[in-house]
Amino acid sequence: MFGERPPADGVGVHRIDADRWQPILRTEQQRRTTQALEEGALFLLPRLAFEIGEYERPHLSVACVRAGAKHVAFDTRTGKLRGATADPDEAAALRAMLQRYAAQSSALVQSLFPHYTSTLRVARTSFRPFETSGRVSSWRKDDRRLHVDAFPSSPNQGQRLLRVFSNVDPRGRNRVWNLGESFEAVASRFLPAIPRPWPGEAHVLRALRITRNLRTEYDHIMLQLHDRMKADDAYQASAVSAQLKLAAGSTWIVQTDCVSHAALSGQFMFEQTFLLPVEGMLDPARSPLRILERLAGRRLA
């Protein structure tokens, strides 16, 4: 059921040949999957497809996204749908698909990583129909460049970003990623040049509604890592990376706050984000927060 292929720098790609969203694993297998995920592995389930009904296929279109939006997003807590066109039938179909994807992703994560069940929180669910390779954007928004994830307006204050992706391309095309070096290698390279935030900065950003909650020094550093990685052309050209082709009909799981990655090409993808407190991990010392605190020599959140 399990297989492993390590890219050049040792970040593992683990294969699970499950074809259902609630695979049955032995306790020892669950422990090993959780340990590997926290060590920076990507779990690829090449036979696990997010099924789209015939009546839903017409909605797999860039036309379903409102002008100016990058994707359609759904909040399971409020039921709100953002980024969709005003067409009520379109919105209803998208909401139903996103609700189903959120439920199936939750079942998958709980089956593979039951250690997280009591503390894991479901965050945004999204449908991304645009082709990655053809989009014109600034270097900061260009996800074709290696980066670790950090959200400018939504500080996560040290919580982990666990994400489930599914390629639903109706024409059967791959989604292509690059996987980069380990988080510690990235942090060791860029952290020494990152200045500390100025006193009171987090409160000003929240008061101006630039952020939804307080941006900790951890969030400040993660945003700087994200930006400095993308802005550094020499780093992008020389960083060790391995290409991964993610076929249509496949699903993959990765913690994108610690795994350096770049989305080179691909279209029509569903994505589910989960937030995990550091204390909910099997080994909190492997979190980006604890790694950065160890390198900086001080508390960051």
* CATH class, range 2-296: mainly beta
- Indicate whether 139 pLDDT > 90: no
Q: Could you tell me the residue ranges of all domains in the chain?
A: 2-296
Q: How far apart are CA 105 and CA 50, in angstroms?
A: 10
Q: How far apart are CA 218 and CA 229, in angstroms?
A: 16
Sign of the alpha-carbon dihedral angle for 9, 257, 281, 165: negative
CB 295 within 8 A of CB 191: yes
Mean pLDDT within 233-240: 95
Which residue in this structure is represented by tokens 């001080």? 298
At 65, the amino acid letter reads: V
At 21, the amino acid letter reads: W
Q: Write the pLDDT tens digit of every residue in 189-201.
A: 999 999 999 999 9
Q: Write the pLDDT tens digit of every residue in 35-70.
A: 999 999 999 999 999 999 999 999 999 999 998 898
pTM for the predicted model, two decimal places: 0.94
Q: What is the percent of the chain with per-residue pLDDT over 90, rounded to a whole number?
A: 88
- Sheet of strand 261-265: strand arrangement: 242-246, 175-179, 261-265
